[in-house]
Structure 1
Amino acid sequence: MLIVSILIGLLLVLLLALLFTPFIVRVNTRQNQYQLRWGIARVQFIPEKDDGIIALQLAFWRRDFSLLQLLAKTPAKKAVQPQKSNAHKKGVGRLSFYRLRKVLQSFRIPYVYLDLDSNDFVTNAYWYPVCRALSTPTRQLRINFGGHNQCAFELRNRAVDVLIALIF
């Protein structure tokens, strides 16, 4: 009985940790950093010249997968099952616009850095004051005339915030 209660307690702690641990999407094109983190797990895309590597890390365990090898594998064929026609129930299983907006509002963006060039001097000149006016310390929007584009941002959320947005 003691072992069962310890296992239930550990599962409860693990579930609470997954609910309250933030998941982070981080993109930085200048440093070629594309990653998704959730607690002690991390999935990272590492671009290379002819291929891409998907690095999966869980605490101290790490495994790298070649993107071309993953895409080249032929999926196993599944038996075709006849589709059941369900009566369409109004409002059941649908994500309303209100709930979708609430879920999107639960995401936090700590910083955004955007450096753009449209390769047209006139268009850049029109966009320059707009980006200058919209920039804040955590949102830097810049127009350059050098021909390079860069983007960096971080997106954060927690599973409990998504659940609260879906329920209420």
Structure 2
Amino acid sequence: MSMNGEYLRVTPAELDRALKDPEWALDLAEEVQDAQEESEPAPADARHFTTRQTWHLLGFLLQRSAFPVDIVQGEEPLATDDWGYGPPRYLTPDRVRLAADTLHHTTYDQLIQCVDPSELTKAEIYPQPWDSPASLEWARDVFTPMTEFFRGAASAGHAMLIWID
């Protein structure tokens, strides 16, 4: 089974409810995921987004670039219950907006600049192996849709739930 980075846009009211009732939030996440499998909205309009297995590589690249928001793991604990590979975390609307603005001004080429694949192996970035410079291209196709997803969330004033499933 693979580990996938998962995101759910929520309104501030939904975030308040999720903080009080994490089981409700998990049910909401599952409902949204199921509904979106049929409709496949554009990333800016989607409520759910997945980085699939690229989450760890993206986290490494963003952390290395001193990205101001932890958009891979989230920043605040939502619950102690395991939603797959650990408990979910969240970003407030302000942190989503900062992330969206920073993503908008960041290119994937900037993120991978001067990265040697051996750094990924040494850091044990999931999944392995990282055996060539071409392996750094793996997350490129996810980066732009992720940026659009965050921009859509920020423009709507949404918070974000984040977990690894």
TM-score range, shorter chain: under 0.3
Q: Which has the higher contact order (CA 8 A, sep 6+)?
A: 2
TM-score (norm 2): 0.23
Higher share in strand:
1
Between structure 1 and structure 2, the one with the greater Rg is: 1
TM-score (norm 1): 0.23
